Amino acid sequence: MKANAKNIRISPKKLRVVAEVVRGMDAGEALKFLKFAPKKGADLLYKVVHAAVNNAVHNDSQKAEDLRIDTLIVTKGIVYKRGRPVSRGRMHPILKRTSNVKLELQAK
């Protein structure tokens, strides 16, 4: 009853804001919240929670309404390094950060 997502194109700081709200909720309640939350991270976490629920139902023969989020960990992924050209042939760095999400569900 796990789901992982690696190198999601959002910074971990922004994704943790949504993860704090969802952590510990029932899976169905979390899906309802994430579907209408006005954050980019909510859409990305919705996919991970939905995948974990489907894994539990299909692989472990669990009921979807009996699941709740046990652990939700957001860690730093790889960082894409880009640059913005400025005067005198120099460059200002642009860091495009990514996140890794590890989600585990638990039956009530």
Q: CATH number of the domain that 59 lies in?
A: 3.90.470.10
- The model's pTM is 0.89
For the record, the structure tokens of 108 come out as: 């009530």
Report the C-alpha gap between 107 and 2 in whole angstroms.
12
H helices present in the chain, as ranges: 12-22, 27-36, 40-60
Q: What is the pLDDT along the chain (108 residues), one digit of tens a residue?
A: 899 999 999 999 999 999 999 999 999 999 999 999 999 999 999 999 999 999 999 998 899 999 999 999 999 999 999 999 999 999 999 999 999 999 999 998
Report the C-alpha gap between 88 and 2 in whole angstroms.
51
For the record, the structure tokens of 52 come out as: 């974990």
Query: Hunting for tokens 């760095």 — which residue is that?
Result: 93
The residue segments making up the domain with residue 97 are: 2-107
